[in-house]
Structure 1
Amino acid sequence: MQYDPKQSIKIPIDTLTVGMFVTAIEDSKRVNLANAGRVPTQQAIRQLVKNGVKYAWVDQSLSVKGSVFKPVSDQPEVEPEGAPPAPIKRKKMSRFSQQKKASKIIREAKGLAQKILNQTFEGKSIHVDELDGWADDLIESVLIDSDALHCVSALRSKDEYLLEHSVNVATLLVSFGKHLNLPKETLKQMAIGGIIHDVGKIKVDDKVLHKPARLTPEEFEHMKLHQVYAGEIISTVTGLSDIARDVCLMHHEKLDGTGYPRGLTAEQMPTHGRMSCIVDIYDALTADRCYKKGMSSAEAFKILLSLTPFHLDRDLVYKFINCIGVYPVGALVELSDGRVGIVWTSNAAEPLKPEVKCFYSRKYKRFIDVSYVDVKHSKVTIERAIAPSSLEVDPTPFFDV
């Protein structure tokens, strides 16, 4: 629903009070709210301030009685004559702006992944330079505010698994690499490797690729050929770095030499190759597939740890868990009071106490007014992580800011 500015007044965010009916907010430009309504708590106001909101539009007639409004003057501030120009500051983007940008990056990535699959299917060459600009945008987004990006990438569709998996592997590799303080150019090459890492599946029989049941031993052997096909495909790609090539061809290798396609051993696998194995398995475990429901992050972590030290690098698995957090941004959790929400903002200092965007109550079996709970400063605790498939309602609309 769009709101007419003439029916609302603009006030500074620091004069907003509980009970006022907000119709729109502004950081650097006008933004219409998806869920306009009365301000429920002081915490909600603090969250707006934290997100860089400067002004709010409020409807006086729908606000609680007794609200005191202090409208902003429409007259621009006049600089005194001869005053030195103010220094140019790089404004930190609000969560809304970051999430909007993240959505664009994810859309572009899916488009690129689809284009690569189409080119491969048609026997055309892949051009790495098409991925360069997107990889730079992805890295910038992760370096500035990875929370917004991970919240967007948490939205999954079973029908788009192959595209989303490629995008998520690329995103997670960049975040993981950032956590390990790897050089920016390495992050870029890992992103490119991530986006093309499953390109060989375009040559796998669709009946095997989309089979809604466990594969037979013969079908699994056929599925494993996607790595052989990938090797053949990327051998024709000019400009592909060794790092990107390793990410693409090593994500099914195992430290004990029992992986495929080459049966590499630990001594033959560089750090970025080992990282790709961890990230690929984690994203596959947490996604809905044609034959299974995705599991929670906590369940996936247990499986990753169970695969160490013979298949996966134990030290890197622990670092990966520390990187994305015990409760990753975009994950669903249930609080001790029965409320369910999305992990909205990470807390590096105390990973067990992130900020949660609550929207549903399992106690009362109904949707509730959206509220943001900073677990670090709350009496409630996180009771458990929830797999999206096990939640009785659809959380998708609440991933928007």
Structure 2
Amino acid sequence: MIKKIGIAQLRVGMYVHDFNCDWMEHPFMRNRLLISSDDEIRKVIDAGIRELYIDTDRGLDANAPTAEEVRTDIERELHRIATQQPAAPVRVSVAEEIERAAQVKNQAHQLVRNVMADARLGKAVELDQVEPVVESITASILRNPGALTGLLRIKNKDDYTFLHSVSVCTLLVAFCRSLGMSAEDTRQAGLGGLLHDTGKALVPDHILNKPGRLTDEEFDIIRRHPRDGYEILLKTPGVGPVPLDITLHHHERMDGSGYPDKLPGEAISTFAQMAAIVDVYDAITADRCYHKGMPAAEALRKMHEWSKFHFHPQQVQAFIRCVGIYPAGTLVLLESGRLAVVIEPHETNLLAPKVRAFFSTKSNTYIKPLDLDLSKPLGMGGGDRILSHESPEKWRVEPMKFFGLAA
């Protein structure tokens, strides 16, 4: 049986099933292992891990809730979050925005490549080239946030570092917009998101793209990138305090376990807290050469779980409302037995987004794509509901092929 325990309950002889953290944050070569010494327990504590899952069939038991009980509680809480506040309205459909969004994605991707290349050569970032790209991203988000965020779910493993920066910028802009922040604050946050990983330009490629877990020494090198990026941006004329702060502090955690400064929650700015949420969300949903990304809906559930210690709980809730319980591009199973890809959250009901059905699980065949507004009854473009989010690999389908088609 899988159970969730607090770190104080961890004992030698327990079998760790899941460290319950961003996979990059724990210090072990394997995600599952039998705890064989007090030194290993100390390593887990030093990594800032506060809760984890154990397999009682493979090691010692503990008085703790089961994984199923924890999941039920999280689902109940997410449903509560989803009904608290409506999503921001969209101005155009995904189909109308998708072509422009694709152009913005490509433009931003190339810009980040150039920024990284210049940083490796010791050149300052040219802010006059970065700002127009942030403006283009913001304009796309204002028209329809689901189009660009959905497209950015698709990342080539070789281009992850560059597209991750584009994703963080895009999600931060959407996050700021959903919170009603000013245009200038949103612009500054967007600049910080696009430039937050500039310091990775100084990380050797063999470490950045290593197809396996990093050694302690390699982790130390990776952890230099926030300060390296900060130092690079300090040489950039006109860069503001918000991009500098986001770059330096996007790996800080509310319980003080982050880096580079181990800041406690009250010392971390709102923008850096927001960037930390967005950064981890995008990282854990992306496929890497050494790690399979989790579905976006599942990632939000993990972010909510981790917010007990690592993130600001109210901000995580706000981010969930921003992207929706089922973010754009999510594969879902409908009560009718159809698979559908989420097109965009509904403006008043995050539990009933707009989806495009394209596959029948009953006949195991593709069907003619059909757009549904799940907030409406049968006969008015709805009449179905989501049972669960699904893994594309499970059904051997590619939902993003149907994302952004003309209705």
TM-score by length of 2: 0.72
Partner of residue 386, structure 1: 390
Which of 392, 398, 401 aligns to 1:397? It is 401
C-alpha separation in 1, matches of 2:161 and 2:328 = 22
Tell me if 1:167 matches 2:166: yes
Counterparts in 2 of 1:130 and 1:234: CA distance versus 1, 3 Å:
same
Partner of residue 179, structure 1: 178
Partner of residue 312, structure 1: 311
Q: Which runs of no fewer than 5 residues in structure 2 stay unpaired?
A: 1-90, 377-381
Partner of residue 229, structure 1: 228
Counterparts in 2 of 1:205 and 1:388: CA distance versus 1, 3 Å:
farther
Partner of residue 363, structure 1: 362
Counterparts in 2 of 1:368 and 1:104: CA distance versus 1, 3 Å:
same
Highest Rg: 1 or 2? 1
Query: Contact between 1:341 and 1:360, CA under 8 Å: does it hold in 2?
Result: yes
Deviations 1:146-195 (A, max 9, x none): 22222322333222211111111000001110111111011111111111
Partner of residue 200, structure 2: 201
How far off its partner does 1:333 sit?
1.4
How far off its partner does 1:241 sit?
0.8
How far off its partner does 1:334 sit?
1.7
Partner of residue 268, structure 2: 269
Tell me if 1:158 matches 2:157: yes
Letter in 2 for 1:163: F
How far off its partner does 1:201 sit?
1.2
C-alpha separation in 2, matches of 1:391 and 1:216 = 35
Counterparts in 2 of 1:103 and 1:129: CA distance versus 1, 3 Å:
same
- The SS at the match of 2:223 is helix
Deviations 1:274-331 (A, max 9, x none): 0000000111111111111111123212221222232210110111111111011122
How far off its partner does 1:368 sit?
1.3
Counterparts in 2 of 1:120 and 1:282: CA distance versus 1, 3 Å:
same
Q: Work out the number of aligned pairs and report it.
A: 310
Partner of residue 281, structure 1: 280
Deviations 1:193-226 (A, max 9, x none): 1111111112112222112222222221221122
Q: Where do residues 2-401 of structure 1 align in structure 2 (5 Å cutoff)? A: 95-377=94-376, 378-401=382-405
Query: Contact between 2:284 and 2:299, CA under 8 Å: does it hold in 1?
Result: yes
C-alpha separation in 2, matches of 1:255 and 1:321 = 18
- The SS at the match of 2:253 is coil
Q: Which runs of no fewer than 5 residues in structure 1 stay unpaired?
A: 1-91
Query: Contact between 1:345 and 1:354, CA under 8 Å: does it hold in 2?
Result: yes
Query: Contact between 2:234 and 2:244, CA under 8 Å: does it hold in 1?
Result: no
Query: Contact between 2:329 and 2:399, CA under 8 Å: does it hold in 1?
Result: no
Worse overlay, 165-174 or 287-296? 287-296
C-alpha separation in 2, matches of 1:397 and 1:344 = 12
C-alpha separation in 2, matches of 1:371 and 1:208 = 45
Identity of aligned residues (%): 35
C-alpha separation in 1, matches of 2:344 and 2:205 = 39
Deviations 1:40-74 (A, max 9, x none): xxxxxxxxxxxxxxxxxxxxxxxxxxxxxxxxxxx
TM-score by length of 1: 0.73
C-alpha separation in 1, matches of 2:300 and 2:401 = 27
How far off its partner does 1:129 sit?
1.3
Query: Contact between 2:334 and 2:385, CA under 8 Å: does it hold in 1?
Result: yes
C-alpha separation in 1, matches of 2:93 and 2:335 = 30
**What root-mean-square deviation, in Å, do the aligned CA atoms of Structure 1 and Structure 2 show?**
1.7
C-alpha separation in 2, matches of 1:264 and 1:388 = 39
- The SS at the match of 1:263 is coil
Query: Contact between 2:332 and 2:387, CA under 8 Å: does it hold in 1?
Result: yes
Counterparts in 2 of 1:301 and 1:241: CA distance versus 1, 3 Å:
same
* Structure with greater contact order relative to length (CA < 8 Å, sep ≥ 6): 2
C-alpha separation in 2, matches of 1:351 and 1:153 = 21
Letter in 2 for 1:392: R
- The SS at the match of 2:154 is coil
Letter in 2 for 1:113: V
How far off its partner does 1:256 sit?
2.1
C-alpha separation in 1, matches of 2:147 and 2:349 = 19
